[in-house]
Amino acid sequence: MGDAEIDIVPFIEAVKMNLSDIPNGTIIRTTNPNRHNCLAEESAIVWKDGKVVQDIIVRLRNVESGELELQLLWVDIPGAPGF
């Protein structure tokens, strides 16, 4: 089945920036493939429709071949502890 690791710290750091008045589609930060993650390609963290979003393609390990497409999206839950 395979496995993969991703570093969500850059995504969390972007969420903690408390962005609100930047244009839709603004790239907040990019994450590059390296030895410590399984990214297949560069991944941008973007301000989209009032939310922090990151589309990711990871290359699976411990399997003959395979890639997985993921989207991280921060959702604020009213009343829940936040950053």
| φ, ψ of residue 80 in degrees (nearest 5) | -85, 150
Residues 80, 19: contact at Cβ < 8 Å? no
Kindly tell me if the per-residue pLDDT of 81 is higher than 90.
no
Give the pLDDT band of residue 82 (cuts 50, 70, 90).
Answer: low
pTM summary value: 0.84
Q: For 18-59, what is each residue's pLDDT tens digit?
A: 888 899 999 999 999 988 889 999 999 999 999 999 999 999
